[in-house]
Amino acid sequence: MSANLAAIAYLISGVLFILALRGLSSPTTSQAGNRNGMIGMAIAVGVTLLTLFSQGKLDGLTLGLIVGGVAIGGTIGAVIARRVAMTSMPQLVATFHSLVGAAACLVAVAAIYTPAAYGILGANGQIHLNSLVELSLGLAIGAVTLTGSIIAALKLNGNMSGAPILLPARHLLNIVIAAAIVTLVVVLVMSGGQAIWAFWAIAALSLLIGVTLIIPIGGADMPVVVSMLNSYSGWAAAALGFTLENITLIITGALVGSSGAILSYIMCKAMNRSFISVILGGFGADDTAAAAGGKVETRPVKQGSAEDAAFIMKNASKVIIVPGYGMAVSQAQHAL
């Protein structure tokens, strides 16, 4: 496939991804949005395979690995999606985000060890400076997404306490780790990619800060955290899209990153939470209140029987139904 045709096809897939996000903004158009997203992804994968084939890079072994990976991963994903309860969807989404983070890390590893295959090796035998920056960003964000999503999934699934787990001097610890990651990125870039130890140190510290950022956040804020981790996974994909010179990956990553960040901000506003506090591991929150399980509810509670509720609804001129946990359990959201 020629470069011009590939670029046009990637552009079409990018437009379909945008239409997919637009469709998901309303329940009435959500099915069409999902359909557009699937068609866009099919086009992107097909064009990538055709491009590799035309360049003579798609031998039998490579094709077999790709088909095998798609078959195994697709089968596992389909089985999990059909069996998961609606109320378990948040932890499933968090788990899938961890896989996106892992994929970003693996792509960065492949690129740093085989730069010639990715076309990022300069004439002097060193990796291009801009490619090293992109690799480092993709690795760091991907690693944070990996461990952060695992912690979020464990909290949501009840395998880990939903209460905030407060580490001693956790804010200072996070600042030190973040500063060390930035320093190591500079070292890796200045070495032209020769300081492999710095690459693995970035990976290790990024995995660590993913844990230290998420465990102080309580279970009530986990939906915001999952949305923010979704944004992180998008930015990691976009960064590596530049390394791979793949337009679709850049477009898709930017869409996921920006939409996830906007959604997280909207959710924080709706929940009366500080956006900065949530994404920075509870920075600025009251440790005493968090350790004690938060503020105690003191507002009055009205109790009544089913007959009372029926009488009130019968005589009401307008009734607003808010879908919630019970509706998800009963699978009634589509009928509504």
pLDDT for 32: 92
Output the pTM of the full model. Answer: 0.79
**pLDDT above 70: residue 201:** yes
What distance in Å separates the CA atoms of residue 269 and residue 272, rounded to the nearest whole number? 5
Residue with tokens 């930035």: 182
Per-residue confidence at 58, pLDDT binned at 50, 70, 90? Answer: confident
Residue with tokens 């920006």: 258
What would the pLDDT profile of 279-316 be if each residue is shown by its tens digit? 666 554 555 444 444 455 566 777 888 888 888 888 99
What would the pLDDT profile of 108-166 be if each residue is shown by its tens digit? 999 999 988 888 888 788 888 988 998 999 999 999 999 999 998 888 888 887 777 77
What would the pLDDT profile of 78-124 be if each residue is shown by its tens digit? 898 888 887 788 888 888 889 989 999 999 999 999 988 888 888 78
What distance in Å separates the CA atoms of residue 69 and residue 196, rounded to the nearest whole number? 28
What distance in Å separates the CA atoms of residue 111 and residue 17, rounded to the nearest whole number? 26
The distance of Cα 228 from the centroid of its chain, to the nearest Å, equals: 7
